[in-house]
Amino acid sequence: MITSLSDREIMSWNDRLVDHQLGIFVKAQYNANTIFPAIEYTTDITRQVVSQQTWGRNLYPNEGESGAKVTKEPHIRYNLVFSIENSMIDKFNEIYNIIKHNNLQTKVYLNDGFGKTAGTYRDINFDNLTIDFKNEYHTLYKKDYFKYDYMLEGNLGDIMGYVKFIEDALTFLTIEPKFKISEVVSDVTNRSTDYLVLKYEYQQMGSKYSIEYIVSEILNDTPDTIIRYGKSTLMNENQLTWSRTARIDEVINNE
């Protein structure tokens, strides 16, 4: 699945990096060559001493308007720590192992022009990161947790992409799917046809996260020795409902 860092996700790193005192401003750059914002680094003009009145001024202008210049990508160390309840560890690992294979389209704008705005773009590459990972079990609020402790070192853009995948997995972990894997469902517009839920698709559109379903049509009308399936399709939970046939079978079996 194609994914990218949203402009909000990119800009949020300015708050994350306050303690690093890098003297840069992380911004989302849009250009005619891509529909996704790129990561750009400029000098942080809010740190500059200005003698003129600042009221009403644009604090984050474009390059050339008030001295903000594109600067080189920083190489940093960044610590990411979180804990997950023990019962959710396998589910988190399952989600993360899917998300980490997404096609991250975000690019990093490189300053190859020694402070000028002209430059090139590079892909985010996790292979260039040095990752020190530690973990331990601990108890908090009378619950058992598993702590993940990542120390990441490398170019900031690569770190931003790596952290995004982890935090996306954490977000999806908090969403409860309406339908379970292997559950029998129907299309809300045609309840005469049943489908089997094969797997989940984890979708992000801007700040909205949702779980969609890859389902396959059940071709059998009766519980034969072999069940055959038809075409598979991607559907969201608003397009699906529980199968009436499966619900009737459950009632009969429970009598």
- What is the pLDDT at residue 50? 42
Residue 15 corresponds to which tokens in the numbers above? 């708050």
21, part of any domain: yes
The residue among 150, 173, 196 that closes a domain is 173
d(CA 239, CA 13): 36
Among 150, 153, 105, residue whose Cα is nearest residue 5? 105
d(CA 36, CA 138): 40
Q: What are phi and psi of 186, to 5 degrees?
A: -135, 155
Same domain, 139 and 192: no
- What is the pLDDT at residue 58? 41
Residue 26 corresponds to which tokens in the numbers above? 């992380």
- What is the pLDDT at residue 113? 56
Same domain, 13 and 137: yes
C-beta separation of 13 from 26 below 8 A: yes
Q: How many CB atoms lie within 10 A of CB 146?
A: 17
Same domain, 39 and 154: yes
Q: Where does residue 21 fall: left (phi above 0), alpha (psi -120 to 50 degrees), or beta otherwise?
A: left
Q: Estimate to the nearest angstrom the gap between the alpha carbon of 225 and the chain centroid.
A: 41
Tens of pLDDT, residues 143-191:
999 999 999 999 999 999 999 999 999 999 999 999 999 999 999 998 8
Among 103, 77, 69, residue whose Cα is nearest residue 156? 77
Angle at the Cα of 66 from the Cα atoms of 71 and 106, rounded to 5 degrees: 40
Q: What are phi and psi of 85, to 5 degrees?
A: -60, 140
234, part of any domain: yes
d(CA 57, CA 207): 29
The residue among 173, 203, 225 that closes a domain is 173
Same domain, 207 and 160: no
Beta-carbon contacts of 118 under 8 Å, excluding residues fewer than 6 positions away, are 112
Same domain, 62 and 31: yes
Same domain, 226 and 168: no
- What is the pLDDT at residue 68? 61
Same domain, 165 and 192: no
- What is the pLDDT at residue 18? 87
179, part of any domain: no
Same domain, 167 and 208: no
- What is the pLDDT at residue 246? 58
C-beta separation of 206 from 181 below 8 A: no
56, part of any domain: yes
| Residue type present at position 18 | V
d(CA 228, CA 222): 11
Output DSSP code: residue 59: S
178, part of any domain: no
- What is the pLDDT at residue 230? 93
Number of domains in the chain: 2
C-beta separation of 88 from 96 below 8 A: no
Whole domain around residue 130: which residue ranges?
Answer: 2-173
d(CA 160, CA 34): 19
Same domain, 108 and 14: yes
Same domain, 123 and 217: no
Q: Estimate to the nearest angstrom the gap between the alpha carbon of 195 and the chain centroid.
A: 28
Output DSSP code: residue 230: E
Same domain, 168 and 200: no
- What is the pLDDT at residue 2? 86
The residue among 108, 143, 173 that closes a domain is 173
Q: Which residues of the chain have pLDDT under 70?
A: 33, 44-68, 112-118, 246-255
Give the residue carrying structure tokens 């984890």: 202
238, part of any domain: yes
52, part of any domain: yes
| Residue type present at position 72 | K
Task: Report CA dihedral (72, 77, 82, 86) to the nearest 10 degrees.
Answer: 120
64, part of any domain: yes
Same domain, 78 and 140: yes
